[in-house]
Amino acid sequence: MGIAQEKFIADFCDAWGDGSLETKPDVEKILSMMSEDAEWQLWVPGGPVYKGKAALRDEIHRQIRIATNNKCNIVNVLSSDTMVMQERSDTAVILGKPCPHQMVAIYELDENGLIKRWREYLDMADLTRKMGVNEEFAGSGG
Protein backbone atom coordinates (compact mmCIF):
# COMPACT_ATOMS: atom_id res chain seq x y z
CA MET A 1 0.00 0.00 0.00
CA GLY A 2 1.28 3.46 -0.87
CA ILE A 3 4.18 2.33 -3.10
CA ALA A 4 3.23 4.76 -5.91
CA GLN A 5 2.90 7.54 -3.33
CA GLU A 6 6.35 6.71 -1.90
CA LYS A 7 7.88 6.93 -5.40
CA PHE A 8 6.09 10.23 -6.07
CA ILE A 9 7.49 11.74 -2.86
CA ALA A 10 10.97 10.29 -3.55
CA ASP A 11 10.84 12.04 -6.96
CA PHE A 12 9.74 15.23 -5.18
CA CYS A 13 12.75 14.96 -2.86
CA ASP A 14 15.07 14.36 -5.82
CA ALA A 15 13.84 17.62 -7.39
CA TRP A 16 15.54 19.51 -4.53
CA GLY A 17 19.03 18.50 -5.71
CA ASP A 18 21.60 15.74 -5.90
CA GLY A 19 24.04 17.15 -3.36
CA SER A 20 26.26 18.87 -5.91
CA LEU A 21 26.93 22.60 -6.04
CA GLU A 22 25.78 22.72 -9.68
CA THR A 23 22.31 21.29 -9.09
CA LYS A 24 19.67 23.71 -7.83
CA PRO A 25 16.12 22.87 -6.76
CA ASP A 26 13.83 22.44 -9.78
CA VAL A 27 11.26 24.98 -8.61
CA GLU A 28 8.71 24.36 -11.36
CA LYS A 29 8.83 20.57 -10.93
CA ILE A 30 8.50 20.94 -7.15
CA LEU A 31 5.49 23.24 -7.50
CA SER A 32 3.87 21.01 -10.14
CA MET A 33 3.78 18.22 -7.56
CA MET A 34 1.81 20.37 -5.10
CA SER A 35 -1.86 21.36 -5.06
CA GLU A 36 -2.79 25.01 -5.73
CA ASP A 37 -3.48 25.65 -2.03
CA ALA A 38 -0.68 23.45 -0.69
CA GLU A 39 0.77 24.29 2.69
CA TRP A 40 4.32 23.75 3.93
CA GLN A 41 5.36 24.08 7.56
CA LEU A 42 9.12 24.47 7.58
CA TRP A 43 9.67 23.00 11.00
CA VAL A 44 7.44 21.71 13.72
CA PRO A 45 6.75 23.01 16.27
CA GLY A 46 6.63 26.73 15.69
CA GLY A 47 8.01 27.09 12.20
CA PRO A 48 6.52 29.33 9.55
CA VAL A 49 3.69 28.01 7.37
CA TYR A 50 3.59 28.88 3.67
CA LYS A 51 0.31 28.39 1.83
CA GLY A 52 -0.39 28.55 -1.89
CA LYS A 53 1.98 28.26 -4.83
CA ALA A 54 3.05 31.92 -4.86
CA ALA A 55 4.16 31.78 -1.20
CA LEU A 56 5.81 28.40 -1.76
CA ARG A 57 7.70 29.70 -4.81
CA ASP A 58 8.93 32.73 -2.83
CA GLU A 59 10.14 30.54 0.05
CA ILE A 60 11.93 28.09 -2.25
CA HIS A 61 13.70 30.98 -3.99
CA ARG A 62 14.65 32.44 -0.59
CA GLN A 63 16.17 29.10 0.37
CA ILE A 64 18.05 28.87 -2.93
CA ARG A 65 19.79 32.15 -2.01
CA ILE A 66 21.16 30.75 1.27
CA ALA A 67 21.42 26.97 0.69
CA THR A 68 23.34 24.88 -1.82
CA ASN A 69 24.29 21.24 -2.24
CA ASN A 70 20.80 20.07 -1.20
CA LYS A 71 20.21 16.32 -0.96
CA CYS A 72 17.29 14.55 0.68
CA ASN A 73 18.44 11.14 1.90
CA ILE A 74 15.53 8.84 2.73
CA VAL A 75 16.30 6.50 5.64
CA ASN A 76 12.84 4.99 6.29
CA VAL A 77 9.40 5.51 4.80
CA LEU A 78 5.86 4.66 5.84
CA SER A 79 2.84 5.35 3.64
CA SER A 80 -0.83 4.96 2.89
CA ASP A 81 -2.91 6.07 -0.07
CA THR A 82 -3.07 9.64 1.26
CA MET A 83 0.07 10.11 3.38
CA VAL A 84 3.81 9.51 3.14
CA MET A 85 6.05 9.84 6.19
CA GLN A 86 9.83 9.84 5.74
CA GLU A 87 12.72 9.68 8.13
CA ARG A 88 15.55 11.51 6.38
CA SER A 89 19.20 12.34 6.87
CA ASP A 90 19.55 15.40 4.63
CA THR A 91 22.61 17.36 3.63
CA ALA A 92 22.97 20.99 2.56
CA VAL A 93 25.42 23.85 2.74
CA ILE A 94 23.60 26.75 4.39
CA LEU A 95 25.19 30.20 4.64
CA GLY A 96 28.41 28.54 3.47
CA LYS A 97 28.51 25.91 6.23
CA PRO A 98 27.87 22.15 5.96
CA CYS A 99 24.56 21.45 7.69
CA PRO A 100 23.69 17.77 7.78
CA HIS A 101 20.39 17.28 9.62
CA GLN A 102 17.99 14.57 10.66
CA MET A 103 14.27 15.03 10.15
CA VAL A 104 10.88 13.48 9.73
CA ALA A 105 8.77 14.80 6.87
CA ILE A 106 5.05 14.13 6.56
CA TYR A 107 3.27 14.66 3.25
CA GLU A 108 -0.52 14.57 2.95
CA LEU A 109 -1.84 14.00 -0.57
CA ASP A 110 -5.07 15.25 -2.11
CA GLU A 111 -7.55 13.29 -4.25
CA ASN A 112 -5.34 13.90 -7.33
CA GLY A 113 -2.25 12.54 -5.58
CA LEU A 114 -0.63 15.98 -5.21
CA ILE A 115 0.93 17.27 -2.01
CA LYS A 116 -1.63 19.33 -0.08
CA ARG A 117 0.19 19.55 3.25
CA TRP A 118 3.85 19.07 4.12
CA ARG A 119 5.36 19.30 7.58
CA GLU A 120 9.00 18.88 8.59
CA TYR A 121 9.99 17.90 12.12
CA LEU A 122 13.60 18.74 12.95
CA ASP A 123 15.80 20.14 15.68
CA MET A 124 16.18 23.79 14.64
CA ALA A 125 18.55 24.54 17.54
CA ASP A 126 20.96 21.97 16.10
CA LEU A 127 20.58 23.30 12.56
CA THR A 128 21.04 26.96 13.49
CA ARG A 129 24.14 26.04 15.50
CA LYS A 130 25.58 24.36 12.38
CA MET A 131 24.69 27.43 10.29
CA GLY A 132 26.51 29.63 12.78
CA VAL A 133 23.51 31.90 13.39
CA ASN A 134 21.32 32.44 16.39
CA GLU A 135 17.81 31.02 16.61
CA GLU A 136 16.25 34.47 16.41
CA PHE A 137 17.67 34.89 12.87
CA ALA A 138 16.47 31.45 11.77
CA GLY A 139 13.05 31.94 13.31
CA SER A 140 12.52 35.24 11.51
CA GLY A 141 12.45 33.58 8.12
CA GLY A 142 16.03 34.46 7.34
141 part of a folded domain: no
Q: What does the pLDDT look like over 93-118, one tens digit per residue? A: 998 999 889 999 999 999 999 999 99
pLDDT band at 126 (very low <50, low <70, confident <90, very high): confident
Residue range(s) defining the domain that contains residue 9: 3-133
Q: Tell me how many domains the chain contains.
A: 1
57 part of a folded domain: yes
29 part of a folded domain: yes
pLDDT at 142 over 90: no
70 part of a folded domain: yes
Read off the CATH number of the domain in which 37 is found: 3.10.450.50
Q: What does the pLDDT look like over 35-63, one tens digit per residue? A: 999 999 998 888 999 999 999 999 999 99
Res 138: pLDDT? 46
Convert the chain into a string of H (helix), E (strand) and C (coil): CCHHHHHHHHHHHHCCCECCCCCCCCHHHHHHCEEEEEEEEEEECCCCEEECHHHHHHHHHHHHHHEEEEECCEEEEEECCCEEEEEEEEEEEECCEECCEEEEEEEEECCCCCEEEEEEEECHHHHHHHHCCCHHHHHCCC
139 part of a folded domain: no
When pLDDT is averaged across residues 65-71 and rounded to a whole number, the result is 95
Please state, for a pLDDT cut of 70, what percent of the chain lies above it. 91
78 part of a folded domain: yes
